[in-house]
Amino acid sequence: MKLLASVKSQKRDLLILSIWIAIMALIMIKAHYILHSTNPRFVHEREAFIDYQPPSLETADVFILAAVSIIVVILLTDVKSLIFGYFASIGIAFTVSIIYATIYIWYILDYQSTLSLIPFGWEAALYMAFVSMIWVMFPYVLGITVIGAVLGVFLRQWLVSS
């Protein structure tokens, strides 16, 4: 019975972390898409990346990330799944968003016609996607989820003690 309960809690933790990964990745993808679809410079000139205008999060995105981080920390069963799950979810969400941005640059912005002419041209699209997503990931998503996780730990301790 103890093994069955352990397997059920691991499945529950995996489901919770999968939802957290999906929300983080979708928010980063949304930030990239909004920048490229609303900014006139990106719309008309179809540039893949500009150093001085990286994608950023909206206020609602910040609140969603913080709220989901707090809820995830409260719902996870143990500290080990929280720590390893946090680093795994950050890495997977970052990877998924880079894959999206690379495909967007390659196909939607039509950089395949120019970059495919040079050897290893896909690396340039991957680099532009990486640089674009790192601007979203490390100042915003990583910081907000750490703050949400710390608040979640305090809230969980408060809920357990009362």
The C-alpha atoms of residue 112 and residue 117 are separated, in whole angstroms, by 8
Domain locations in the chain as residue ranges: 23-161
Encoded tokens for 155: 């809230």
The pLDDT tens digits along the chain (162 residues) read: 676 777 788 899 999 999 999 999 999 999 999 998 888 887 778 787 777 788 889 999 999 999 999 999 999 988 888 999 999 999 999 999 999 999 999 999 899 988 888 888 899 999 999 999 999 998 899 999 999 999 999 999 998 887
The C-alpha atoms of residue 101 and residue 25 are separated, in whole angstroms, by 11
The C-alpha atoms of residue 132 and residue 150 are separated, in whole angstroms, by 27
Q: What is the pTM of this model?
A: 0.91
